[in-house]
Chains A and B, each alone.
Chain A
Amino acid sequence: MDLRYSDTDREFREQARAWLSTNVPRHARPAHGPEAAAFDRAWQRKMFEHGWAGVAWPKEYGGLGLSGLQQVIWYEELARAQAPHYINTTYIALMHAGPTIAARGTAEQKTFHLPRILSGDSLWCQGFSEPNAGSDLASLKTRGRVEDGVIVVNGAKMWTTDAVYADYQELLIRTDPASERHKGLTWLICDMELPGLDIKPIRTMLQDEHVNTVFYDDVRIPKTSVVGEINGGWSTALSTLSFERGLGFIGDQLELYERVCRAIDLAGKVRLDSGKFALEDDGIAQKLAGLKADSLAIRSMTLAHITESDRTGEPGPNGSLMKLIVTATHKALSETVGEILGWSFLEFDGDRTAHPWTYDYLWSWVFSIAGGTSEIQREITADHLLKLPRAR
């Protein structure tokens, strides 16, 4: 074991810090709406133009071709510089679509899409879940009729984040009508401007409309948009998800420690009904200390995972455990801050800038449900890590 950064790592950190110190946007990101998407595109374009986009993407696809550990350093420096959060409207393009096309796409798809993704020119959304296929994704029913040169899509996708701002969608559909479960699926690039496509926002408990239902009524998608094989989409989808479970959330994982420290600062300043500072309350202080230990362990798990997969080239089997501990810690931290803030925690109008802790509390359910619920992560752990017998 070895905790030392190499000279190359340290140099990279210095360069990143220097660039970020003068280039981070001076105005805060708008919380919602088209202004937020425009802001994200502009920031991505700036990073792209200065050679900072796609730190861990291979060089041949326009990335910097650096290691997972350097990706971690980049996220640490983004956080230190208080740069815009990397989970924004560019997320699916950079974390899902890009890596999937790089791994499984045709030469034409790579040439067309990868530079546009890196430069922020095209935003993407996901089209996997359906009204009746969430945790059990392989039961999805949206159909694609294969005709000469096109696939004609009918059905509905649900929980699609930022669908209204996206230029393209990664769409997983059933192209073999006789097929069941994982067979007969196809992964398609869907242009969001195509006729027959309709987007209906879903209002959430966060008082926002970040997710949507997307309806398809004879949407005609060219066959050249298939990524991987027709009827071989499940394997393409697995590579999409494995990438997310490897690197997709490391920024958040590393940031948790800072968030716990901010909560401890807050507890030193806010008084409880008793008149004592919240940090003088043993119950609250103990919870915060336990959360600090959890957040340090999450950082250690992240570094272990990244440095091991840098060495082996494999993402490692512990993505589900990581998601379980990160989402549980996120929620427990929000609950503890709720105890600290008292009544003001109950003030909320949907504005995440004005009420960040309450927003994060509500977000903790999105976090533990989206991308595979905590229950599904426990199932994956039981199957793949513990090799317990299956009932399914």
Chain B
Amino acid sequence: MFLALDRDEIEVANAAADFLASAMPIDRLHKPGCADMNAVLRGTLAEMGWFALTLPEADGGSGLGPVEHALFFREAGRQSGPVDVLTQALAVLACTDTDLRAILLAGSEGVALLVPDGAGLRLLGAPDAAYALQVTREGAQLFALAGGQTTERPALAPACSMRLLDSPPGTAIAYTNGEHIWQMGELGTAAMLLGLAEAALDLIVEYAKVRETFGRKIGAYQAVRHPCADMALRAEVARSQLWYAAAAMAEQRSDVALHLDAAKHLCNQAALMNADTNIQLHGGIGVTDEHNAHLLLKQAMLLGKLFGGKRALLSRLVDATVQD
């Protein structure tokens, strides 16, 4: 048993961090037209093989597992990455049609995420997406999107645009049964939330070392130090459970769902609370548009609703038990 990252895992994490920091740095979100994964970014990610990370080698993928999936999306989260990076990776896994999968793997076409919204449906991701993916615990369905079916809605989170689907999406062109795609979505979203929680901590710790007030660095005041320690704690708690869940999934243990739900809940909480505290401790600069603090908060609010929101996760957790 070993519950920390080993050398190979650290290599994957570093490669993802370096690549994403240059391909989609969080600062991109201060420029116009920054939302979503555009065709250029999609092509770059495809070229580097990131959409094929957990696809079996027999299907042309890298054949890596849930742990590497989590490591990549944690780094994507740190950059407040667009949801459609995850959607594309999930669509590749869900797609059994080899021709269509090749198109998605190459990044030639994009996929938006279809989520329930009351009685209707909402689409998250790039407006030029040719396909939509809907994932439930029962399975995943891929739909072809024809033009003119959607109404754009203003998006709070700059990284991800939103549209309402005016009519049902028609018949699925590909589908897969079972919980696997949902769990990869839950794990990936949780990992992005962990990345947000860690990014918020890094921002305030860096600032607390340089910003002065009343003649001292603010990081010397317990009013700042102690909330920072609590942020570090929330990140550590969420990270530990996320690693456990990812490893449990890699080993196909029977209580994966419990560990994953716990991890998603803790990552939801860590991202939202750390993003909140980060703004507060920054003071005035923290509420400005030019600062990244609000980007982390808004992305945390969005991801907190995907693949298990607070109420749904907690109601499942009450009854679930550890199996080993």
- What is A's interface to B at a CB cutoff of 8 Å? 1-6, 9, 69, 257, 261, 264, 279, 285-286, 288-290, 292-294, 296-301, 303-304, 307-308, 311, 318, 320-321, 324-325, 375, 377-379, 381-382, 385-391
Contact = CB atoms under 8 A, between A and B. Distances in A.
A382 B248 CA distance: 32
A289 B315 contact: yes
Most buried by B among A375, A377, A379, A382: A382
Given A1-B2, A1-B6, A390-B220, A297 B230 contact: no
B295 interface: no
A385 B236 CA distance: 11
A331 B253 CA distance: 31
B302 to A, nearest CB: 21
Contacts of A296: 241, 244, 258-259, 262, 322
B261 to A, nearest CB: 8
B318 A391 contact: no
A157 B9 CA distance: 49
B226 interface: yes
Given A300-B240, A381-B229, A388-B228, 6 more contacts: A257-B322, A289-B316, A289-B317, A292-B262, A292-B318, A320-B229
B240 A293 contact: no
A289 B162 CA distance: 31
A381 B2 contact: no
B146 interface: no
Contacts of A1: 2-6, 9, 67, 243, 246-247, 250
28 contacts: A1-B2, A1-B247, A3-B247, A4-B1, A5-B1, A261-B321, A264-B318, A289-B315, A289-B317, A294-B237, A298-B237, A300-B244, A307-B2, A308-B2, A311-B2, A321-B237, A325-B236, A325-B237, A375-B222, A375-B226, A378-B222, A378-B225, A378-B229, A378-B230, A381-B232, A388-B209, A389-B217, A389-B219
Contact of B4 (A279, A289, A307, A390): A307
Interface string B13-57: 000000000000000000000000000000000000000000000
Contacts of B305: none
A368 to B, nearest CB: 13
B266 interface: yes
Given A1-B246, A304-B243, A285 B318 contact: yes
Contact of B3 (A3, A290, A382): A3
